[in-house]
């Protein structure tokens, strides 16, 4: 028995690739079957259609769904896609601007204890449910919510930003902020002090050093963070549902409605390929900018 076990071990010892194979087979199989398989089915079903009278799925190849999505005569879906991408871009930009100084403080200024504290504060919201946090914002931003109560308290006019794109922009920026802070922090933390000293030594003022050394070296971290903030916003449908107004549907909401209420899975599939393609392009660009070395 023992001998058999040893012989079995020896097989792995003699052929290191065997070990890799044994380790990778289950996750790769699961990945191929569930993830890639599902994506393939999604993409294929985008070329089917639903009989509008019977509501039955028809397996006839056509590109009608894509024609509707990209139609310029009725730009409903193009507008929704544009809104989704626009807000995702705005959220990414906002988070980059907000996260950079915070991450810089954490990485290069704070003492170890303060740094731990700030870390906890950044990560703590992730421990609570995402839905709860969005609901909290709904209460803050609604017309008779905390924001307007506070504004009224100090004598400022009411802001009617509840259930608008503004509200979505604010809420998204808030919920995804930690995903930007962490990679930017990691990138900033890795810059050795003596790069900054060398820059100053060579005649660069603090601002010049920031522009020529710190920002370029932190850029991969910013791009890595933007992958999160951009893709998470792009795929979301809960926030638009809860804090968005009547005219603020995202791609995700349309997909959701077509799977549920409208029962038009092929159209949902066609629209869902749009963010997949956008993210694929985005990742290629991010790779060029060195974002994956920063993760």
Partner 1 sequence: MATHALPETPPRQQSARATPDVRLVGVRKTYGEVVAVARVDLEIAAGEFFTLLGPSGSGKTTTLRLIAGFEQPDAGEVRLAGVDITHRPPYARDVNTVFQDYALFPHMTVGENVGYGLRVKGVPRRERARRVAEALELVRLPNVAARKPVQLSGGQRQRIALARSLVNHPRVLLLDEPLGALDLKLRQEMQIELKRIQQDVGLTFVYVTHDQEEALTMSDRLAVFSEGRIEQLGTPAEVYERPATEFVAGFIGVSNIIERDGRRFTVRPEKIEMRDDSGRSGERGRIRDVVYVGMFTRYIVELDSGGELTVVKQNLESSSREALESRGKRVRLEWRPEHTFEIGTGGRE
Binding mask 178-217 toward partner 1 (x if CB under 8 A, else -) reads --------------x-xx-xxxxxxxxx--x---xx--xx
CB of 214 to partner 1, least distance (A): 11
Q: How many residues bind partner 1 (CB under 8 A)?
A: 17
CB of 108 to partner 1, least distance (A): 15
User: Among candidates 252, 287, 197, 283, which has minimal Cα distance to 87?
Assistant: 252
Phi/psi of residue 57, each to 5°? -75, 130
Which residue number, 217 or 278, has a Cβ lying nearer to partner 1?
217
- C-alpha distances (whole Å) from 162 to each of 86, 142, 171, 233, 271 are 19, 4, 11, 18, 27
Which residue number, 27 or 192, has a Cβ lying nearer to partner 1?
192
256 with 25: CB under 8 angstroms?
no
User: Among candidates 242, 236, 279, which has minimal Cα distance to 254?
Assistant: 236
Which residue number, 5 or 111, has a Cβ lying nearer to partner 1?
111
271 with 251: CB under 8 angstroms?
yes
CB of 283 to partner 1, least distance (A): 21
CB of 95 to partner 1, least distance (A): 23
Which residue number, 145 or 200, has a Cβ lying nearer to partner 1?
200
CB of 190 to partner 1, least distance (A): 10
User: Among candidates 176, 188, 169, which has minimal Cα distance to 227?
Assistant: 176
Which residue number, 158 or 208, has a Cβ lying nearer to partner 1?
208
Distance CA 158, CA 144 (A): 9
Binding mask 143-182 toward partner 1 (x if CB under 8 A, else -) reads ----------------------------------------
CB of 273 to partner 1, least distance (A): 36
Distance CA 81, CA 60 (A): 26
Sequence-ordered list of residues with C-beta below 8 angstroms from that of 143, at least 6 positions apart, any chain: 158, 160, 162
Interface with partner 1 (CB under 8 A):
192, 194-195, 197-205, 208, 212-213, 216-217
């Amino acid at each position: 028995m023992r001998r058999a076990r040893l012989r079995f071990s020896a097989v792995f010892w003699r052929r290191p690739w065997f070990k890799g194979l044994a380790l990778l087979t289950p996750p790769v199989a699961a990945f191929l079957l569930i993830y890639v398989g599902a994506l393939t089915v999604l993409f294929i079903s985008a070329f089917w259609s639903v009989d509008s009278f019977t509501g039955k799925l028809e397996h006839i190849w056509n590109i009608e769904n894509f024609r509707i999505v990209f139609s310029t005569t009725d730009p409903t879906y193009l507008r929704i896609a544009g809104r989704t991408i626009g807000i995702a871009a705005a959220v990414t930009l906002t988070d980059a601007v907000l996260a950079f100084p915070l991450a810089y403080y954490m990485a290069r200024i704070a003492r170890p204890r303060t740094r731990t504290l700030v870390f906890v504060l950044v990560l703590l919201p992730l421990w609570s449910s995402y839905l709860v946090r969005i609901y909290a914002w709904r209460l803050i931003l609604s017309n008779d919510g905390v924001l307007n109560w506070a504004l009224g308290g100090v004598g400022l006019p009411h802001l009617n930003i509840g259930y608008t794109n503004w509200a979505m922009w604010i809420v998204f920026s808030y919920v995804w902020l930690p995903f930007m802070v962490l990679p930017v922090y990691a990138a900033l933390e890795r810059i050795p002090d003596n790069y900054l000293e060398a820059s100053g030594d060579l005649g660069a003022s603090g601002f010049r050093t920031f522009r020529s050394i710190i920002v370029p070296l932190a850029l991969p971290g910013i791009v890595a963070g933007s992958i999160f903030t951009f893709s998470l916003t792009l795929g979301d449908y809960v926030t638009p549902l809860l804090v968005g107004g009547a005219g603020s549907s995202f791609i995700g909401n349309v997909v959701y409605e077509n799977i549920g209420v409208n029962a038009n899975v092929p159209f949902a599939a066609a629209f869902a390929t749009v963010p997949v393609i956008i993210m694929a392009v985005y990742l290629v660009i991010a790779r060029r900018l060195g974002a994956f070395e920063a993760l």
